[in-house]
Structure formats: structure tokens, C-alpha cells
Amino acid sequence: MMPDRTTCELAHLYFNPKTHKDGIPVRPIESTIHAATTKISKFLYKILRPVFDAKCKDTTIIDGASLITELSKYNKKGLVKSTTLFCTFDIRNLYTMLPQEETLDTLMTFLHVHGYRKVKGISIDTIKKLASIILKDNVFAYGKKFYKQTTGGAMGSSLTLTLANIFMAKWQKNIVEEQTKTGEFYGRYIDDIFMTWNRSEEELRKFLDDVNTWHPNIKLDYKIGNSLPFLDVQLTNNNGILSTSVYHKPAAEPYVTPFISDHPRHVFINIIQTSLARAVRYSSTFEAFNYERRYIKLMLLYNGYPSTFIENQFHKYLSDYISTSPFLQMIDDEKKFFQFRQKLLGQPTPRQS
């Protein structure tokens, strides 16, 4: 974990604009590839992330597919009523607002509560000291000046994500207990949260306004409705019927790797297969799937993919799952679509593997 003095560099700060948000705020990111603490950060991430994943899996959303799977369980219990509300909220600037000392204490409490005195042979006291170096000795360059971060952790550091997740696991405890008590759904993907609600909207707003006072550094922006996007999924309560489809973030699409770029052929094939797999998994209706299939084709054409290449890959991918017969290469009715969808939903996504 010792830094190499011949290759070690000071981290430098840059900003990515959030073009999908009003006012276009920026996201501060540190390039820490050759920073002095990078190896320590990667080491701690490697030993701590599996612990978090194992202990907090019940409230963790891995990706859009996992959200759909868990919400389907909620739906099968008959809890989606015509009046059921969906709520999403995101935590403002989570990484850069983590209180450093409290975050370290939360890490220690988390490990103690789950019975750890050592993790992979490393004492938790040593883990705290190493994590403290990551947080409190984070020095970076911006412009022609040097800075030391006094609140939060570096976006770009491997460990910051896990520390943020562990901090949020403690922060959300009362919400999780409330949702569990009333049989409602709650799931979190880092700083984005989705939950269901079967009481009045006024009560929900009052509850969330109260949540906003729990911690001076943790502030949330929320949305309430019967149809909301979360990650890359559009979730809709259609008079008591749960429906899902692909949600396209305006800032990210319809741009994909251009066909004229100097990439191996398998890269372009993977883009098509990934898009189709998402369309099948996320589309709760045959109509939604056909809409998404047309969208994918237009997106690929827009990025220079030849029509014959697109059609060949569509046929190849769909026929692999539907039938070995070359005469049944496309999904042409609802029954085939739902058979295909059930098969895919039963398989792990790359993130779930």
C-alpha cells in the first residue's frame, strides 16, 4: 500500500456539469489515479465493500432490474392500490457533505454491531486509522492552488462510496423501520432512494420534511407521484396496476459509441445486446417493449450503425433466447415476449453477478 515516489502525483480536481438538472450544477470529481492514498483506498474498499453488501442487501438497490424484481414481490402481496404513491429522493452532494469524524465513528459502529473485530485479518482500529488518512489527508490541486478537504470524501476515491453507503445505512434506519412496520417498500442506490406510500400525500410530505431535519449535512430533494423515474426505470401505478418501462435520461441518450469509432466489433454488438436485454427486462407490457425496440433502432441509426447490422444483431440476439429455429427470430406476439422476459428476469444482470 506504500505509494511509489517516482509515480505518485497530487490529486487534481475537475468538474462535470449535471446537464439534466435545472441551473446545470456541477459535480466535483478528483482524479486520484496516482495519488498517495489511492492504494490504501482500494485496499479498504476491497475488504469493506463485501461486508456492506452482505449486511445491507435487503435495502440496497443494485440496478434497475433488481428494483423491478423487488417491486414485483411487493406488488404480488396486493399492496399496489389505486391510491399508492411513489416517492423518490436524492441526497444533495452526499460525498462532499459527509462529516469526517462522524463517518469514521459510524464505520466502527457498523463493524462492531455486525460482530467484526477484524476484517480479513486487519483489526478494526487499524481500519479506522487507514480510513482516517483517506478522509482527513485528502489534498488536491485546483488551478494553481493546493487544497485540503475538511468535509466529505473525494469523488473518485474507491473508499468514499463504501463509507457513504455505511453512513447512509445508519441515517436511514428509522425510515426503514417505519416502512417495514407498514409493509411498504424502501430501497436505496447510493444517494438515490425509492419508496412506496399508502397513506395520504400530506402525511408523506410531513414525514419527508421531518426527515430533512435529522442531520445538518444530509438534505434531500424529493418527488411524489403515481409515475416517476428511478435510475433508468419508469415506474407507473396505473390505477392499481404496476407497470415499468425504460427511462431515458436526457443528458445521456441517444448517444452511444459511434459505429465509425475505432473499437472492436464486439463493442458494438454488446451495446445492442445490452439495450435489448434492458428493454425486455424493464418492459412490463408488449407495447412498451415494441416502443423501446423502435427507440433502440433509431438511436443506433443516429449513431451511424448500418441498418443491416442492426437487424442482424436483433435477429441473432432474440433468436438465441426464443427458438433455435431460424424462422422464429423475432418476438411477434405477447406470449413469446413474456416467456422471454421471465427467462431474462431469472438471470442475474452483470451488476448482480
**Which of the four pLDDT bands, split at 50, 70 and 90, describes residue 328?**
very low
Decide if 154 contacts 33 (C-beta within 8 A): no
Q: What pLDDT does 79 receive?
A: 95
What the block records as the C-alpha cell of 158 is 474507491
Give residue limits of the domains in the chain: 11-238, 253-345
What the block records as the C-alpha cell of 301 is 441509426
d(CA 246, CA 275): 10
> Quick one: which of 95, 77, 88, 82 has its CA closest to 29?
95
State yes or no: pLDDT of 323 exceeds 50: no
Decide if 300 contacts 313 (C-beta within 8 A): no
Q: What is the mean pLDDT of residues 53-81?
A: 96
SS3 337: helix
State yes or no: pLDDT of 53 exceeds 70: yes
Q: What is the mean pLDDT of the chain?
A: 92
Q: What pLDDT does 253 receive?
A: 67
Amino acid at 269: I
Q: What pLDDT does 156 receive?
A: 79
State yes or no: pLDDT of 7 exceeds 90: no
**Which of the four pLDDT bands, split at 50, 70 and 90, describes residue 325?**
very low
Q: In this predicted model, what pLDDT tens digit does every residue of 231-279 receive, in sequence order?
A: 999 999 999 999 999 999 877 768 899 999 999 999 999 999 999 999 9
State yes or no: pLDDT of 326 exceeds 70: no
Per the listing, cell 476491497 goes with: 46
Q: Which CATH class is domain 11-238?
A: alpha beta
Q: In this predicted model, what pLDDT tens digit does every residue of 193-232 receive, in sequence order?
A: 999 999 999 999 999 999 999 999 999 999 999 999 999 9
**32: Cα separation from own chain's centroid:** 22
